């Protein structure tokens, strides 16, 4: 599933082509996504202007202003979805379910083979059920070690599960949680409530550093993900632990351990992380 850096990469890829453009036509070829696409979506947004392409956690927020309605398209890529900027006459593929035709000639095309993504409409997105309970953005100033320390007190939850909880912080998905915990020297199974403030400061900075690097390098190369320009990301080449179980730790040389936590692959160094 595309994680926060992949979604942010998509946002940055499509925003220059879409912002301040009028939606000339909306084509919904198959609205049977994770939740049905609203039947009246074309009537709501055709003729309206895309004012901004934003992101909240893994959701793309396409903000629209028009005479029929003003609100936000809440778009999730699901497990296999991608948004592509189409500037040529290429015909849609079998899984190209939704397409926005803009007056500048660009078509924003949504492809989702597994149909686990979503296109929903909300006039009050901040209070939408998908967004209302989300924690802070990891790159925002309000996310820091002090926040993690305060929210973790008394919790026996493994710290990896703790930072992957979207109510605590959004976007620290499995790959990036592995990487950040390694950089901070924290064992993924250590109880969240037994980690000191100073170590949480290191972990918060490691999360910020890891996600910032992934965004800069275009996200992590996943099997089903492509950027808006059709090119895969390259951050996978820089992974320190994820996907490297049994290989030497790049810090101490000992073999990295691989276990399963909550049905997710977890890779760590038993010597460097405690």
Q: Determine contact, residues 208/137, Cβ cutoff 8 Å.
A: no
The stretch 3-29 carries a mean pLDDT of 94
Category of 184 on φ-ψ map: left (φ > 0), alpha (ψ -120 to 50) or beta: alpha
Instruction: Answer yes or no: is 76 a known binding residue.
Output: no
The dihedrals phi and psi of 249, each to the nearest 5 degrees, come to -65, 135
pLDDT of residue 69: 87
The conformation of residue 235, written as its DSSP 8-state character, comes to G
The stretch 132-153 carries a mean pLDDT of 97
Q: In 104-168, which ranges are continuous DSSP H helix? A: 145-152, 159-163
The stretch 198-221 carries a mean pLDDT of 90
The stretch 186-206 carries a mean pLDDT of 98
Q: List pLDDT tens digits, range 148-159.
A: 999 999 999 999
Q: List pLDDT tens digits, range 84-113.
A: 899 888 899 999 999 999 999 999 999 999
In the chain, what are the domains? 4-127 (3.20.190.10), 145-268 (1.10.8.50)
Whether 233 shows a pLDDT value over 80: the answer reads no
Instruction: Using pLDDT thresholds of 50, 70 and 90, give the confidence band for residue 224.
Output: very low
More confident residue, 262 or 144: 144
182/205 Cα distance (integer angstroms): 12
The stretch 166-179 carries a mean pLDDT of 95
Residues annotated as catalytic are 2-3, 58, 264
pLDDT of residue 228: 62
Instruction: Using pLDDT thresholds of 50, 70 and 90, give the confidence band for residue 60.
Output: very high
Instruction: Using pLDDT thresholds of 50, 70 and 90, give the confidence band for residue 220.
Output: low
Whether 80 shows a pLDDT value over 70: the answer reads yes
Q: Determine contact, residues 24/237, Cβ cutoff 8 Å.
A: no
Instruction: Answer yes or no: is 274 a known binding residue.
Output: no
Alpha carbon distances (Å) from 112 to 82, 116, 219 = 7, 7, 19
More confident residue, 80 or 231: 80
Q: List pLDDT tens digits, range 24-57.
A: 999 999 999 999 999 999 999 999 999 999 999 9
Instruction: Answer yes or no: is 155 a known binding residue.
Output: yes
Whether 2 shows a pLDDT value over 90: the answer reads no
E strand map for 8-70: 21-28, 49-56, 59-65
Closest CA to 38 of 69, 13, 8, 16: 69
Among 166-170, 224-228, 243-247, the least confident range: 224-228
């Amino acid at each position: 599933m595309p994680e926060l850096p992949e979604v942010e990469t998509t946002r940055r890829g499509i925003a220059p082509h879409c912002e301040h453009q009028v939606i000339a036509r909306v084509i919904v070829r198959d609205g049977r996504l994770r939740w049905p696409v609203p039947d009246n979506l074309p009537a709501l947004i055709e003729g309206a202007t895309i004012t901004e392409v934003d992101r909240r956690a893994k959701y793309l927020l396409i903000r629209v202003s028009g005479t029929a309605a003003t609100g936000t398209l809440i778009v999730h890529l699901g497990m296999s979805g991608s948004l592509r900027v189409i500037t040529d006459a290429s015909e849609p593929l079998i899984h190209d379910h939704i397409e926005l035709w803009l007056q500048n000639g660009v078509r924003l095309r949504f492809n989702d083979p597994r149909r686990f993504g979503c296109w929903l409409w909300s006039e009050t997105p901040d209070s939408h059920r998908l967004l209302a309970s989300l924690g802070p953005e990891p790159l925002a100033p309000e996310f820091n070690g002090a926040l993690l320390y305060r929210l973790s007190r008394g919790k026996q939850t493994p710290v990896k599960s703790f930072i992957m909880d979207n109510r605590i912080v959004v976007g620290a998905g499995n790959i990036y949680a592995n990487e950040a915990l390694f950089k901070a020297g924290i064992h993924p199974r250590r109880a969240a409530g037994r980690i000191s403030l100073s170590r949480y400061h290191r972990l918060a900075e490691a999360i910020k550093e890891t996600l910032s690097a992934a965004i800069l390098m275009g996200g992590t190369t996943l099997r089903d993900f492509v950027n808006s320009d059709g090119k895969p990301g390259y951050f996978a080449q820089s992974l320190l632990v994820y996907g490297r179980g049994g290989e030497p730790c790049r810090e101490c040389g000992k073999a990295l351990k691989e276990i399963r936590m909550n049905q997710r692959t977890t890779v760590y160094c038993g010597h460097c992380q405690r």
